[in-house]
Amino acid sequence: MYRVRELRLGSYSRRAWQNIDHILPRLTQPAPLLETFSVVSSASHQRSQLPGNLFTGHAPRLRTLELIGCIVPQTFPLLTGITSLKIRDTNQVPHGLSLDELIIILKSFPNIQALELHKAHRSESVGPTGSVPPGRTVHLPYLRRLDISYDPLTCAALLSCLKYPITTTQNIKTMYKGRLEGFRRLDAIFAARACPIAYVQVCKVPTAGFAFRGWGGAGARLQLPADAPHINIQLSCHGPSSLAPLRAVWQALPMAGLESLFLSGNFSGDACLGDFGNLSSLKTVRVEGALFKILRVLKQGLPECGLENNNAFPFSQELAEPGRLSFKALRTLVLGGQYLDLSGRIREATELTRCFRERRKRGVPLRKLYISKSLLRKGIDGEITRIFHTAVKEVHWGLHDRGISFDTEDYSSGESSDID
């Protein structure tokens, strides 16, 4: 081990597992040059066990440690130089770690910058309310990225033990089984650990669920930021899909300065849009697959647009007051995706334009309307163009796919009307 810089052990067959099980107990010599150590055990119900005196605790250059599917000793050697730690599928009963044992191990790695935990400890080691004994706190002052995958209560219990900078990127994968208790605990945690959010994406994901992503920054945008989101929560639903769990979390986040909202997918309810419609800072909305949802919300308070019963929309009581407009700061609307071919759809364009016109009369004008180039353009630049121009100052076709902001606009074509 004295000359080894990288050691990766993987068991993808029973024979390979037997070889690993023979090698691991012998890794008790110092590894002065070792930088990366990985153990992946996935071929058998048998689990390989790391020695308690791994490298005799002497691996001064070790920076990356990956433990997947193996048995982690309760007393782990102090390897303070590690900056990237991944522990997955180490929760096997009866050898799996308890939450307390995992916390003790994490205290051995104070310089971690990237931490990934997926079923790293037994969920049953967390009480039914997700409560954690006092004093179980791990300080991770250098943490830049955190990835956690558990049920909501276990996520909340683990996060309550970790103290890290507010700028840390947080990626959470969890599931919804009809109970909100764990999500209510998560919202209190994220409320204190999230930086101000300027951009939000709410979308459907392939795992029969939803994702909520939030970014910091300044200035309204037409496209999602290119960098990783500050907070990323992916929710899989066991049973009917619902935004209620994510809504319980985002309502606690610091979004008073939200400037751009991105919606993708046909959501089952309108209540989530009502939350965003109350924000006085939200200037830009981009929708893909949810056009008629956003149209219904923009009609709020406009009975002359055909809205006969304001109470038909399950918003908050404040938003549902007769005559009260939602999205009062909205100045730019982006219609993207393949959700609608406006060719020959004069009625839909007319209804949308009537809504824009009536909102303008109420002092809430839409200044810019962008149509993604992914929409079919055939037949769209005739009568429909004239319809939109009666209510919107600028109508642009062919929004480019790359991320751009208002400071660097670049469009294939665009037209302006004489509307103030």
Residue 11 has pLDDT above 80, yes or no: no
pLDDT for 371: 76
Strands (E), 150-256: 162-163, 169-176, 199-205, 209-215, 231-237
CA distance 354 to 60: 69
State the average pLDDT over residues 339-351.
60
pLDDT for 22: 80
- List the alpha helices (DSSP H) in 152-303: 152-159, 181-193, 244-250, 271-277, 291-298
Residue 365 CA, chain-centre distance (Å), reads 31
* Residue 111: DSSP 8-state: T
State the average pLDDT over residues 294-315.
55
Structure-model confidence comparison of residues 368 and 49, the more confident one: 368
Query: For 347-385, how does the pLDDT look when each residue is reduced to its tens digit (9 = 90+)?
Result: 767 778 888 888 888 888 999 988 765 544 555 555 666
State the average pLDDT over residues 25-30.
87
Structure-model confidence comparison of residues 50 and 258, the more confident one: 258
Q: What is the pTM of this model?
A: 0.81
DSSP string, 355-395: HHHHHHHTT----EEEEETTS--TT-SSHHHHHHHTT-SEE
pLDDT for 382: 55
Residue 131 has pLDDT above 60, yes or no: no
Residue 33 has pLDDT above 90, yes or no: yes
Structure-model confidence comparison of residues 63 and 308, the more confident one: 63
User: What Å distances lie between residue 329 and 162, 282, 288, 298, 305, CA to CA?
Assistant: 38, 6, 20, 12, 19
Residue 182 has pLDDT above 50, yes or no: yes
State the average pLDDT over residues 165-184.
87
